[in-house]
Chain A
Amino acid sequence: MDAGVKSRAEPLPLTAPAPVDGRSAGADPDGGRWAGMVREIHRRHGGRRLLVSASAHAACAAADLAAVEVFGLPGAGAVHWVSRRRCVVTDLDHRPATRSGLTIVRVTQRWPSMEPGPAAAGPVPPLAAPDPRLSWAADLCRGHLDLVRGLLDRAVDHLNSRTLDGTPLLARQHPQALIADAAMDLAEAAECLAAAANVAQVADIHRRAVTAGRSVIRLLGASGFVQAGPGGDLYAAELTCRLYLDAGADR
C-alpha cells in the first residue's frame, strides 16, 4: 500500500447512511448496540480500516464509512493488502443492515493487474497481532459473545417479569435450565476463543455463538423480533460475522 494513501484518498462514492428507522416506534435503549461495537472494533484495529472478507464484502458502522480505508483479502490463504485507490467500493444498499446502523459494501479491484505481488501489495500495516485476520476475527466473535451475554441478562429480567399461573417464568425449572444452558454455552465459547489459533477455529466458535444467541433471543419472545432492539442487533451481528468468519464460501 502506498504511504500516505489515507491523506490523499478521494471520498468514497457512497450514499449517506440512511437513518435507523424504528427509533421512534418501539424504540429500545439497547438497539443499535452492535453498530457501536463494530465501530469500536475498527478503532481498535488501527482506526478507520476495513478488512474485506475473502468474498470481497465488508460491513462497517455507517457513520464511519466515509472515512474508512479499505484493505482487501482477495483470496483465501495469504493476506493481501490492497490500496483503496485500486479498489471500487460500492454501497450495496442492504436495507436490513442499514436499519441496524451498518453498511454492507462490495469491494472490487479497479485494475486487472491487481494480482498479489510487489506492484499491488504494499507494506502490511502495523497491527498488533501477527495474523491480523485472526485478531480481527477474534474481536468480532468476542463482540458477538458479548452481545449474547447482554441478551442473557435481559432475558433473565424478562422472564422474571412474566408470570404464568401467578408464578414468574424465571421461577420455573425449565426456563432456568434454558438460561443455564445458554450461560454454559457462552462460557465455553469464550474459553475456546481465548485459545483459538486460526480463523477456522474462530469461525467454528462463532457458529456456536449464533446457536447460543438464537436460544437466548427465543426467551425474549416477540420483543426479540423488534428491529430497534436486541433482535435487530443480533441479526446485524450474525450478518457481520458471517461476512468475515463463515468458512462456508471457502468450502
Chain B
Amino acid sequence: MTGGPTGVDVAELDGRCREMARELRAVALDIDADPDAIRRYLHLEAVRMQRLTLVPERYQDRPLAVTGRPYLGMSCLERTVTQQRLAYGDPGTILASPGPSLSGVAVLTLGDPAQQDEYFRRLMGAPTWTFFGLTEPAKGSAAMELQTRLEPAAAGDGWLLSGTKRYVGNAARAQLGVVFARRAPGPIGVEAVLVDTDAPGVTARLLPTVGLRGARLSEITFDRVRIAPDRLLGRHLRPTRRGLLGAVQTLLRFRPGLGAMGLGVAEALCDHIGAQRPGLRGWPALTLQSLRERVAALTRMTRDVAARVDAEVDTGRADVMRLTARISAVKLRSVRIAEEASLFAADVLGSASLVEDPWLDKTFRDVRAFEFMEGAGVLHQMAVFSGVLKGQYPPEPAGRPGAAR
C-alpha cells in the first residue's frame, strides 16, 4: 500500500492500530459503564494517539512514530485507517478520549497562526477535551439553519454568544470548543468562535443515551457569553471563506473516518460471531461471509474517497464539495453495515445473547449512534440523490476511465 500524504506507511499504520485495538477492547465495558473513567486510561497508546491526532508536529514533544515518521493524523486517509482499526477495539473509548478531534480540523482550517498557537499549546499542556458545537435542538446539523446568535457586545469590543447546541460529543466534559453561530442573515453570516466552557454564561449537561456512552453526548447552552475579537476563527479570511464553509468542509473531511468506525465495528462483530459459532453452516455462514466481503469492499471505497479528499487539500483548493455524494455514500453504507451486523449477531447468537454477552449488548446499542453522527442518514441519502442528478454518483467503475454515463 502506498504511503499516506505525510509519509506514514498506511499498511504499517493499519497494523499498528490493530495492535492498539486490543487494549481498547479490554476497557470497553468500563467506559460504557462510566465514560468519565477515561481518565484512568490516558496512558493507553490508542488514547494518546487520539490526543495527538491533528496536532502539528511543532507542538509535540514526543510524537507517535510509525516506521520512523511522526504520525500526525493530518490526512483524511490516515484518520480513516486509524478510526477503523481502533473502533474494532472500542469506538466509545476513542470518542471519550481527550484531543482536538473535529474542533481541531476547524481550527486548522480556519484559525490564524495566533489562534492555532493558543489552541494547540493548551491541548498539549494537559489532557484537554474539546467539542464541536454545530448541531442545535430544532435544526440538527444543518449549518444554514442554525439559530445560535453572535451579537455585537455593547462596548463594541467583541461579541455576545447566545443559544443552545444539543447532541454535541463531550461538551459537558470539555474545556474548550468551537461553536458555530449566526452573526447576520445568509450563508456568509455564520461564524465559528472558540469558547471556553468555564466562561460565565456557559452551562452544559450530559444526555443519557441508549449506547455509545463514551461519546458523552451533551447539551450546552450559551447565555450572552462574551467572545473576544481574537476568538473569531478565520478573522484573517474573507467571510466567504470562513464560518459556514469551515463547518461544511470540516464535516466532509471527518465523515470518511466516522464511516470507517462503523466498518471497524462491523468487522469486530463478524469476528465475534466467528469465534462464538466456529461451526456455523447454512444461511448464517453464507450471510457472515457476505458481510465480511462487503466490509472489505467498503473499506477499499472509504479509503479511496479519503485519498481523494487529501488530493483536493494538496491542490490548495481544499474543495471537497464535489466529493459530497461519494463521502455521504461511504459514510452511510458503512454505518448501516455495522447496524446490520449487530442485528445478525443477535439473531445468530441467540435470544439471550444480549443479556449474557455484555460486549454484544454494548455493541448492539452503540452502532445506532453512527447513523446520525456527522449528519443524519436521510440527509446523506439526499446528498447521494443530488450526486446522481449531477452525474457525480455512482462513480465510474474502476478500469473504465472516461466511460460515458
Q: Are B349 and A248 touching (Cβ within 8 A)?
A: yes
Chain A residues near B208 (CB-CB < 8 A): 21-22, 25-26, 99, 226-228
- Of chain A, the residue at the smallest CB distance from B347 is A248
Chain B residues near A217 (CB-CB < 8 A): 368
Question: In the docked arrangement, what's the CA distance between A164 and B167, Å?
Answer: 19
Question: In the docked arrangement, what's the CA distance between A231 and B209, Å?
Answer: 8
How far does the Cβ of A205 sit from chain B's closest Cβ, in whole Å? Answer: 14
Question: In the docked arrangement, what's the CA distance between A44 and B304, Å?
Answer: 56
Q: Quick check: is B318 within 8 A (CB to CB) of the other chain?
A: no
How far does the Cβ of B377 sit from chain A's closest Cβ, in whole Å? Answer: 5
A interface footprint on B118-143 (CB within 8 Å = 1, 0 otherwise): 00000000000000000100111010
Total chain A interface residues with beta-carbon distance under 8 A: 55
- Of chain B, the residue at the smallest CB distance from A246 is B351
How far does the Cβ of A155 sit from chain B's closest Cβ, in whole Å? Answer: 10
Q: Quick check: is A219 within 8 A (CB to CB) of the other chain?
A: yes
Partner of A227 from the list B210, B351, B378 (CB cut-off 8 Å) is B210
Q: Are A235 and B210 touching (Cβ within 8 A)?
A: yes
Q: Are B346 and A246 touching (Cβ within 8 A)?
A: yes
B interface footprint on A217-251 (CB within 8 Å = 1, 0 otherwise): 11101111111100110010001001111111111
Question: In the docked arrangement, what's the CA distance between A226 and B361, Å?
Answer: 17
Residues of B at the A interface (CB closer than 8 Å) are: 33, 135, 138-140, 142, 144-145, 166-167, 205-212, 217, 219, 284, 339, 343, 346-356, 361, 365, 368-369, 371-373, 376-379, 381-382, 385
Interface members, chain A 182-215 (any B CB < 8 Å): 207, 210-211, 214
- Which of A219, A227, A248 is the most central at the interface, judged by chain B CB atoms within 10 Å of its CB? A248
Q: Are B343 and A210 touching (Cβ within 8 A)?
A: yes
Q: Are A163 and B145 touching (Cβ within 8 A)?
A: yes
Q: Quick check: is A110 within 8 A (CB to CB) of the other chain?
A: no
Partner of B372 from the list A162, A211, A221, A232 (CB cut-off 8 Å) is A221
Q: Are A95 and B140 touching (Cβ within 8 A)?
A: no
- Which of A96, A226, A235 is the most central at the interface, judged by chain B CB atoms within 10 Å of its CB? A96
Partner of A222 from the list B217, B350, B351, B381 (CB cut-off 8 Å) is B217
Q: Are B351 and A55 touching (Cβ within 8 A)?
A: yes
Q: Are B217 and A225 touching (Cβ within 8 A)?
A: yes
Q: Quick check: is A92 within 8 A (CB to CB) of the other chain?
A: yes
Question: In the docked arrangement, what's the CA distance between A210 and B376, Å?
Answer: 19
